[in-house]
Amino acid sequence: MLPPSAVAWTYGISPISGETLGWPQLVGTVRQVWTGLPPGQRVNAVVFAADYSEAGAINELGRSTGLPTATGAQNTDWWWGPGNPNATTRRGRRTRPDYAPGYAAHLRQYFRHVRIAATLSNPNGVHNIEWGGHVYICTGPRRPWGEAWPELRNYA
């Protein structure tokens, strides 16, 4: 067990130790973006996490904050389904741009409008997988969310 301030130097040796740093901030940022959506838009929206760790953080730490259950398409999370299959708004989360380049372009395959709503960091300055990642708001689905879901499965 290390205090967060002591993890930064270990990240280069084993990134696992630093991946959970910033999860409370991640959840807080997602909640801020979520509550910033008009109520009518939230009714037809889903929170889509880029990987299973983000979905887990949102679902565990965000449960008491009013966030809906996050969906995710990585590994076995995909089997839980798309959430609202008729969603017209998606609040998407993606890791830092150098870790997953071209993610906004990927989102544009499924949505007409993709915009960055927030950028992530953590209070300890550890440049982990979340650092510099974006929270996107995606609207104008090109086809129903549930119909696009099978293409999103990712076993990485």
Q: Please say if the pLDDT value at position 74 is more than 90.
A: no
Q: What pTM, to 2 d.p., does this model score?
A: 0.84
Structure tokens, 78? 């995909």
Over residues 38-64, the pLDDT tens digits come to: 999 998 899 998 888 889 999 999 989
Structure tokens, 68? 């809906």
SS3 51: coil
Q: Which amino acid is at 55?
A: A
Query: Domain limits of the chain?
Result: 21-152
Over residues 104-151, the pLDDT tens digits come to: 888 899 999 999 999 988 887 777 778 888 899 999 999 998 999 999
Phi-psi region of 83 (alpha: psi -120 to 50; beta: other; left: phi over 0): left
